[in-house]
Amino acid sequence: MHFKLQPGGALKGEVRVPGDKSISHRAIMLGALAEGTSRVEGFLEGEDALATLAAFRAMGVAIEGPVAGSVTVHGVGMHGLQAPGKPLDLGNAGTGMRLLCGLLAGQAFDTELTGDASLCSRPMGRVIEPLTKMGADIRSAAGGRPPLSIRGGRQLQGIHYDLPMASAQVKSCCLLAGLYSAGRTTVTEPAPTRDHTERMLRGFGYPVESNGNEISLRGGGGLRACDIEVPADISSATFFLVGASIAPGSDLLLRHVGINPTRTGVITILQLMGADITLLNEREVGGEPVADIRVRHAPLRGIEIPVEQVPLAIDEFPAIFIAAACARGRTVLHGAGELRVKESDRIAAMAEGLDTLGVCNEVLDDGIVIDGGELGSGVIATYHDHRIAMSFAIAALRAGGEITVRDCDHVATSFPGFDELARGVGLRISTTGG
């Protein structure tokens, strides 16, 4: 499937984007390991979260739904999972695979994790290393890449692990393995990362201690079922935050968006660039802060992005690059080497697309320099990365001609129905070849 986009337009009205992908993954995982029945509302019915759901069904967990975002998980307890009859296929879900590594390392049975070509090219050594130190037995393909074979029946031991990079996935993997470990597991972060795992563990009644940049728990406890309301995903909302900021005449309200402080770097960065963004009706739902967000067009300016904001906006940078391309002056990003090991090398992929549209940029080892200016037209390669596809879709709001974004099938991994929702608020988008 390809996107075809006509230039111009503005984003107006109200929209609620799909549920948060990170929280949807974790809701299924912890609900499956809890005692009792957990009900999840707002579950993201995207391919990544559905792959996690299917994996737990394959391990004997009864799960009803999803129906209109509602899922009921009948938990089997910490030691109730069953050996799957075949490898667990996570599709494109890197979060699902990395977190499952932690959970499965402590099970009594052997498992194999695999995925699509994109996922099988992504490095898993960053989770294999700490899990091995905890006593896990994990075998991988060359370069620490999937498929992964996890040997069961190992007695894990809690460790103190200093994260070599700011990664919520690695932190969460270690903490989830810690549930099955003897003693205490402590993770030290070099910078704050999203804390959905810690929040949700507490919601399921499991004690987690946070002391500055140290997060720890003691193994051997249990989880109690609870109900979860998943807020709208701020990563998905970002495309509309940027789109409304760059398109003259835009005035858009985004409903019920998660504003977890470990995820709001995109709001901070856009406001530093001059964006007109207002949080309304701030509240807490199921342990997660949410708000309605109003965004109106405003002239943006280039900035040097504060390095401390990078981990808080790591998934949102492709869209932020589009904001930078439409800003006056130069935007400089450092400290974002993590972008090179996402679904694609997002620095290289975005730079190539910006080149196509005539936007001057310079690729750095750990970031990029973008000189704002006029956007042209052209055909964009996405490298099968959903965030690259949606980022260049919103670029059409300021383009000088038609943009074709190729190979957009993977948009469904995080944002099913993106084109229809975007068209409803003013993006001039159509699909071909699907």
267 contacts 277 by C-beta, under 8 angstroms: yes
Catalytic site residue 315?
yes
Q: Distance between CA atoms of 115 and 89, rounded to whole angstroms?
A: 5
Q: Distance between CA atoms of 245 and 323, rounded to whole angstroms?
A: 8
Q: Is 131 exposed, middle or buried (0-12, 13-18, 19+ CB in 10 A)?
A: buried
152 contacts 173 by C-beta, under 8 angstroms: no
**65, two tokens:** 């739904």
Return the residue matching tokens 């075998």: 139
427 contacts 11 by C-beta, under 8 angstroms: yes
Write out the DSSP string of 364-401.
ETTEEEEE---B--EEE--TT-HHHHHHHHHHGGGBSS
End-to-end CA distance of the chain: 4
Q: Distance between CA atoms of 57 and 31, rounded to whole angstroms?
A: 12
Cα 123–chain centre separation: 16
Q: Distance between CA atoms of 19 and 71, rounded to whole angstroms?
A: 12
Torsion, Cα 390 391 395 401, to 10 degrees, reads -60
**Among 233, 315, 407, 419, the one annotated catalytic:** 315
Q: Quick one: DSSP state of residue 135?
A: T
- The catalytic residue positions are 315
